[in-house]
Chains A and B, each alone.
Chain A
Amino acid sequence: EPEVTQTPSHQVTQMGQEVILRCVPISNHLYFYWYRQILGQKVEFLVSFYNNEISEKSEIFDDQFSVERPDGSNFTLKIRSTKLEDSAMYFCASRGASGTYNEQFFGPGTRLTVL
């Protein structure tokens, strides 16, 4: 069964460093999303991406964040200068053209720890 994959599973970085979180969405999907979940807190929407551009972003997704689909398979989230409060699980999700917005498939997440 097709699934969304994410790498790395755990990333540890120093405050102020740049990190890139990688996602490989399901191959025929066209809509891509990033969410984060701080430990013990709600899942929070970060950004949606379609047709090589951002469709919508939340207030969390400030200038420190960027997304890219550098090739036909990867979807990345870059945090330019990490802060302690960026420590969280980051989930990538995707959905197909025929699927409704609700039918997003989530990856297993990347745990980001900022020291």
Chain B
Amino acid sequence: QKEVEQDPGPLSVPEGAIVSLNCTYSNSAFQYFMWYRQYSRKGPELLMYTYSSGNKEDGRFTAQVDKSSKYISLFIRDSQPSDSATYLCAMKPAGNYQLIWGAGTKLIIKP
């Protein structure tokens, strides 16, 4: 079983829809959970990170962590064509330097 699983998509939704992106993981030691956005031929850009369980909101973005289910989500409200990108989840245990990455989900927002 891979440490971090993420559906590669593509996920195509109409403009204005609520988008739900998810990752599952197997390592119960993971404590920090990140979401990155990557536009084509660009480096990953940190969107949000959370520590342990719970929700975090930033504008149209909400990150959710359910450690009991080993499941994290990123919700995008009022999606825009400019949100079209690949969304990568990444996570790490406390005290360990390595980020473990998901494969990324390609998101397409249709005008």
Contact = CB atoms under 8 A, between A and B. Distances in A.
Most chain B CB atoms below 10 A, which of A42, A93, A104: A42
Interface residues of B, number: 20
Nearest to B33: A102
Nearest to A3: B43
A103 B26 CA distance: 23
Interface bin, chain A:
20 to 34
A108 B102 contact: no
Interface in B51-100: 88, 90, 92, 97-99
Interface in B21-56: 32, 34, 36, 41-46, 49
Contacts, number: 51
Ranked nearest first, the 9 interchain pairs of A and B with the lowest CB-CB distance are: A106-B43, A102-B49, A43-B101, A56-B97, A45-B98, A42-B101, A91-B43, A106-B44, A48-B97
B11 interface: no
Contacts of B34: 102
B97 A55 contact: yes
Nearest to B34: A102
B97 A101 contact: yes
A98 interface: no
Contact of B88 (A4, A43, A108, A109): A43
Contact of A42 (B45, B46, B97, B104): B104
